[in-house]
Amino acid sequence: MKAYWFDNQPGDQRDDHDSGKLVDSDYLRDLGILYYRCPSIDEVDAIAKERSYKNRDEITVSPEKMGDVYEDKVKMFFNEHLHEDEEIRYILDGNGFFDVRNERDDWVRIRLEKDDLIVLPAGIYHRFTTDTKNYIKAMRLFKEDPQWTPLNRRPEVDENPYRQSYFQASSVMLDLSCPPQHVLRRSAGYMKGWPPGHATCTGIDNF
Ligand code: KMT
Ligand code: NI
């Protein structure tokens, strides 16, 4: 796993788009994202059990497997969307990128490889793409069936109750007086966990 700020440069979605500015796993946690390295399926099963997951499937995203619909599928996965439930993705082979939005709508790009597992919280806006090797095999784990649907971003989805609760939880650390180029520091009372503690602007440059 490697996480960094998306460079917002034009080009193929499958290019790295690496701004060179890393994002650490504490920051991912503040967004409600959990990351685990799972060299065996036992660890995946344990996480799934603890978080009450009931369903799973496997998907191979590649031109070999998908044929003519591959390009359309990859474009579809790259539409910004959310789910009304948590989603777990466990990478079995190949590589891919999950892009996730922070509270300011900046993109964090998370590059995943074999044995990486991420948990995306309900209500977080995200999108997915393969990389230039055009191959990933992943296990998708779902809590329930009905909420598998991706809800593409649009004004009424911004008002969705799952979006609203996610946004409120993740914005706890947002100090609106802090310009984006400055580092936010969490309050002394900050406890590890979700939602994160309050934060204040340090006046120090981010990058
Ligand atoms: C998603 O949520 O966009 C996906 O599940 C993409 C395919 S999983 C590698
Ligand atoms: Ni999704």
* DSSP character string of 101-157: E-TT-PEEEEEE-TTEEEEEPTT--EEEEE-TT--EEEEEEES-SGGG--EE--HHH
Q: Kindly give the distance from the C-alpha atom of residue 172 to the centroid of ligand 2, in angstroms, as a whole number.
A: 24
For 14-35, what is each residue's pLDDT tens digit? 999 999 999 988 888 888 899 9
Ligand 1 pocket check for 142: Cβ under 6 Å = no
Other CB atoms within a 10 A radius of the CB of residue 63 amount to: 15
Phi, psi of 19 (to 5 degrees): -75, -10
81 annotated as ligand-binding: yes
Ligand 1 pocket check for 111: Cβ under 6 Å = no
Q: How many whole angstroms separate alpha carbon 64 and alpha carbon 202? A: 50
Place of tokens 């996730």: 100
- pLDDT value of position 51: 92
43 annotated as ligand-binding: no
Two structure tokens written together for 102: 């922070």
For 139-154, what is each residue's pLDDT tens digit? 999 987 755 789 999 9
For 34-64, what is each residue's pLDDT tens digit? 999 999 999 999 999 999 999 999 999 999 9
71 annotated as ligand-binding: no
The answer to whether 138 touches 160, Cβ cutoff 8 Å, is no
Q: Kindly give the distance from the C-alpha atom of residue 9 to the centroid of ligand 1, in angstroms, as a whole number.
A: 23
Ligand 1 pocket check for 123: Cβ under 6 Å = no
Q: Kindly give the distance from the C-alpha atom of residue 120 to the centroid of ligand 2, in angstroms, as a whole number.
A: 8
Q: How many whole angstroms separate alpha carbon 110 and alpha carbon 128? A: 9
- Which atom of ligand 1 lies nearest, measured to the CA of 98? 3
Q: Kindly give the distance from the C-alpha atom of residue 205 to the centroid of ligand 1, in angstroms, as a whole number.
A: 34
Which neighbouring-strand residues pair with 9?
none
Q: How many whole angstroms separate alpha carbon 71 and alpha carbon 74? A: 5
Q: How many whole angstroms separate alpha carbon 76 and alpha carbon 141? A: 19
Q: How many whole angstroms separate alpha carbon 74 and alpha carbon 128? A: 8
Ligand 1 pocket check for 138: Cβ under 6 Å = yes
Q: How many whole angstroms separate alpha carbon 69 and alpha carbon 15? A: 20
Q: Kindly give the distance from the C-alpha atom of residue 100 to the centroid of ligand 2, in angstroms, as a whole number.
A: 10
Which of 87, 128, 134 to probe ligand 1 with, by most ligand atoms within 8 A of CB? 128
Between 153 and 104, residue with greater pLDDT: 153
Q: Name the residue type at position 119.
A: V
Ligand nearest the Cα atom of residue 131: 1
What band does 183 get if pLDDT is binned at 50, 70 and 90?
A: confident
